Structure 1
């Protein structure tokens, strides 16, 4: 598709937002100070380089005077050669250190981002686009590299050269220096105005790149659905429009940056013309000598070179600060455990408690950002796919206006099998999310073994829970990698045993690699039912005292569902099960069935009791609970 077409599809241009994340140079310093040892060495080398550089014009001036007077050059020639060689060697080694340190800054920033991204509250993932978060780790961090490699780290040496050149020029001819400072002052002022524009444009560009990554990630992740719906061309137009926006922002950066280069060139050329013109006149008048003029011209170049480096540093630093604003936005987000009590208690032994799980008058509403993000995602998907894909937590089912749960209360006895049933949007998946502490109740309490889950250490809490999501993901890698996600020390024999327990023995036999057989990206080499059974096997391998199953048999045929139920029954002895039911056969023999409707409990009891007393359950049962 042409760029013109892409521009037409995206509609009228929207102005860039001015309230996006911004960063200051102070926020950049911690990334640099992690490598302060190397930076100190670079600073020392910069000082040595400045000394050897400033010494060259002085030696040249003396050489010219000796030539004019007919004196022997003596050691001055060798001194000049030594200064040039030493200066070059120092610059080369300094360049290597800066390149290596710049790469180390990118590495440390990526480690910080990864550590924060993997420990954010679940609501942040629900409210943000995955591709945009990935873009911050990959693209945004790369711009920090330029900070060290394009002039900032050796600013001490450049500052010394700049200052030394000014002092030397002041001694040689104050009049010429004053004229040069006027030219330089004007150029510095113009570059200062451009720097803010560069930072704003870079920020917009990085945001658009993040949107582009999100769009590509969404399209590739749903490629089969998109192809089946005949929506590939529409997706291409949408993503291409975002790419065009990123291009426009990049052009704005290029325009502002391009102005900096000629400004430095004009400053140098104009300064040189001023020196040659005015300086020649002053030589002719006897105010200064030819040797002094030549020395002044050399110092002029040493004055302009740091200035050009300074201009380049302004461009690279402002680009980095635009990206750092997006990086810092994530780093400033609280982690999942940031609001935990200081001395979080270990989870109680639920195998000894009379009640494993209890909900006490629980109300819950999803944060506005999550609701807004979900509504936006649904609208975008409906435009091209005509359906909304439920995400990994089942959030799409439950996010609606107002409270998702309204005064929910029920008890799950230890060792019991409890089923949650109800129409779509009743709040079933949200109930499991609250048990896992992906979210906390707006009011009321969720108890585990009699203890409020908000008072418990999250890792200890989740170690007692085996959670199988509605659309449980299969991680790229091998069968063994997926099984050992929660049980890294499980033996091959244990893995094979649990696979056969969920009727996945034939998957092992397909390949001579056995547990090391790859499953493909997102488990593409497995069927939907096999992916679901693999997720259940993963939970069973960890052998927690409580199993939370979110419609875990929804992707299975009748035969495999029966075998799955037998496998779950085999490991359910002594364990508590909370099951979101998809089929009547899954719940009919449950010890307790909790019926939810629009966030409220409308009935509790056994199958026979509910058929007789709860019209909604009776209707669901007649339709085999296929809500």
Structure 2
């Protein structure tokens, strides 16, 4: 997003954010069920072995007291300890792979979804926040869906087994132990419930910070030239501080879990040691039984701690999943595919495109609340903007094979016309026909196969010249690539780098001049050779010589095609078969250059300004 652009959606003070349910985590678990099953098996083996250790230790003590040979039992204890270590290591190795699989799956789904959202979603959301969901939020799923839940399986076995063994040894000590642990369980449960909401807020703040950084880096030259480094840095620091505050809140919540668990464990140990010692002294139990019971007690307490660790991880994951699921739940742009009723065939209709009383308003959007000085108010609830009607009953026809220009002052709605032709948005009134057929009756893929589009900003993707050209025509040959570059007078770029077509263009095409970026974007569209071409102010950055050459190239390519051009330079469109003048969201004139000079005052004014009258 540009430096001067809006900041999109931000969390409000009263907005608790999206919610996620545990059931929404299940699909990710199912994808890794093979690895998770193996991990559970290792966890259960480890749990069974761990349960055996206190009992073997008790036998060793009894054997020593009886003066018998302890070597066989000691060797058995050594074997059990080694087996426990092997099972634990194998479990965590499998879990690591499963965890990475979970993250990969979530990122793949998000990345695929992000490229297919309705265009309006990109207008409402900030790029940095979307990137944060792919990078930061997905990592929080790893521990919750792997180590936390798998540890719970083994922990449950250890807990149940320990309780049974402890009940057999001394039921009174077991009751006292469970009372101490129950108090800790209740306290930790109350504390941990706050983690999910805190995590969602924390991830939102991280998204805000990422968006601010992306915003600043994408316009770093403008920021430097305007000496705005301090202001932009202050905004990033503010977002980073908000993320820090939320992070501290989560740490503060988690910080109580371990001390409460430790307090319960120490309290239980003191009670068991005191009461158990008394029972040993009175002959009600044996030393070996007391030691075995204490070992089992600590073994039982460990899975309780693991449970709350798993619970905290799941709560954090649910907080992150809410932000992930919010994007996955947005309907795809092409979700109307099943409504397509028209199969594409060779067009026979004389009219290529027709607008019938088309109306359009951009939807309301959440904007950051600001104070009287224009500064954002921290944690304030977003303010909804009013929908703005851009087109107010626009009607026109464009004949097949003609060259048509759309002109008018800035903000008149010219680029919106192109967006509606491409079905980036749906009109709020009226209808649009392609070859006499409603555009809603065909899939967007079929529609866009008929229409080539060069955007106003002529975006160039990071990578090579070849990669940029192949976006719209992946099967084009090297000969085709060089031919189209020659047509737009861009062969000089190939000559100045020995890599030729594989020369890098840099981030956002920074290695190219403004005119070269536009010509590369035009070449990319020409390569796919669509029957209809939309050029949105595509020659605005070209000098006089290259503009003339570009016009000649477009004229050559435009043969047998419908060409629709938006331009502020009337010199580039005076030879058009038809010129449509738009102002204030309405068509105020149509005709040739000479006809409009006589019939449309605004067009005559524009022509006079550019000395074309």
Check whether TM > 0.5: yes
Q: Residue in 1 aligned with 2:548?
A: 562
Unaligned runs of 5+ in 1: 1-13, 385-398
Contact 2:574–2:593 (CA<8 Å) still a contact in 1?
A: yes
Deviations 1:450-487 (A, max 9, x none): 11111111111111111000001110001111111101
Q: Residue in 2 aligned with 1:425?
A: 411
Deviation at 1:418, TM superposition (A): 0.9
Q: Residue in 1 aligned with 2:498?
A: 512
Deviation at 1:424, TM superposition (A): 1.2
Contact 2:16–2:197 (CA<8 Å) still a contact in 1?
A: no
Contact 2:40–2:91 (CA<8 Å) still a contact in 1?
A: no
Closer, same or farther: CA 417–379 of 1 in aligned 2, 3 Å:
farther
TM-score, normalising length from structure 1? 0.91
Determine helix, strand or coil for the equivalent of 2:582: strand
Distance 1:267 1:472 in 2: 65
Closer, same or farther: CA 582–383 of 1 in aligned 2, 3 Å:
farther
Equivalent of 2:80 in 80, 83, 90 = 83
Contact 2:354–2:396 (CA<8 Å) still a contact in 1?
A: yes
Deviations 1:104-142 (A, max 9, x none): 100010001011111101110111000000000001101
1:25 aligns with 2:22: yes
Q: Residue in 2 aligned with 1:66?
A: 63
Determine helix, strand or coil for the equivalent of 1:152: helix
Deviation at 1:305, TM superposition (A): 1.0
Closer, same or farther: CA 379–221 of 1 in aligned 2, 3 Å:
farther
Equivalent of 1:182 in 179, 184, 191 = 179
Distance 1:341 1:404 in 2: 29
Deviation at 1:325, TM superposition (A): 0.9
Deviations 1:582-613 (A, max 9, x none): 11112211111111111111111111111111
Determine helix, strand or coil for the equivalent of 2:587: strand
Q: Residue in 1 aligned with 2:379?
A: none
Contact 1:593–1:605 (CA<8 Å) still a contact in 2?
A: yes
Show the 5 A alignment for 1:36-55.
36-55=33-52
Show the 5 A alignment for 1:543-622.
543-622=529-608
Distance 1:110 1:625 in 2: 55
Q: Residue in 2 aligned with 1:368?
A: 364
Show the 5 A alignment for 1:186-201.
186-201=183-198
Deviation at 1:407, TM superposition (A): 0.9
Q: Residue in 2 aligned with 1:285?
A: 282
Distance 1:104 1:316 in 2: 17
Deviation at 1:443, TM superposition (A): 1.7
Equivalent of 1:355 in 351, 358, 371 = 351
Contact 1:348–1:448 (CA<8 Å) still a contact in 2?
A: no
Distance 1:596 1:249 in 2: 50
Range that drifts further, 566-575 or 175-184: 175-184
Contact 2:336–2:443 (CA<8 Å) still a contact in 1?
A: no
Aligned residues: 594
Closer, same or farther: CA 344–297 of 1 in aligned 2, 3 Å:
farther
CA RMSD of aligned residues (A): 2.2
1:447 aligns with 2:443: no
Q: Residue in 2 aligned with 1:209?
A: 206
Equivalent of 2:443 in 454, 457, 470 = 457
Contact 1:584–1:625 (CA<8 Å) still a contact in 2?
A: no
1:258 aligns with 2:255: yes
1:135 aligns with 2:132: yes
Q: Residue in 1 aligned with 2:215?
A: 218
Deviation at 1:353, TM superposition (A): 2.3
Deviation at 1:346, TM superposition (A): 3.1
Deviations 1:64-107 (A, max 9, x none): 22222223336322222221111111111001011111111000
Deviations 1:356-398 (A, max 9, x none): 11111111111112xx45xx69999x989xxxxxxxxxxxxxx
Deviations 1:19-58 (A, max 9, x none): 3012122111111111111111112222222211111222
TM-score, normalising length from structure 2? 0.93
Q: Residue in 1 aligned with 2:382?
A: none
Deviation at 1:625, TM superposition (A): 9.8
Q: Residue in 1 aligned with 2:7?
A: none
Contact 1:421–1:428 (CA<8 Å) still a contact in 2?
A: yes
Determine helix, strand or coil for the equivalent of 2:394: strand
Equivalent of 1:492 in 478, 483, 495 = 478
1:525 aligns with 2:511: yes
Q: Residue in 1 aligned with 2:98?
A: 101
Contact 1:165–1:299 (CA<8 Å) still a contact in 2?
A: yes
Contact 2:356–2:430 (CA<8 Å) still a contact in 1?
A: yes
Unaligned runs of 5+ in 2: 1-10, 377-384
Contact 1:95–1:149 (CA<8 Å) still a contact in 2?
A: no
Range that drifts further, 566-575 or 31-40: 31-40
Closer, same or farther: CA 401–89 of 1 in aligned 2, 3 Å:
closer
Deviations 1:172-225 (A, max 9, x none): 111111111111111111111122222222111110110111111111101111
Range that drifts further, 616-625 or 471-480: 616-625
Distance 1:198 1:575 in 2: 60
Range that drifts further, 483-492 or 54-63: 54-63
Closer, same or farther: CA 443–348 of 1 in aligned 2, 3 Å:
farther
Contact 1:180–1:271 (CA<8 Å) still a contact in 2?
A: yes
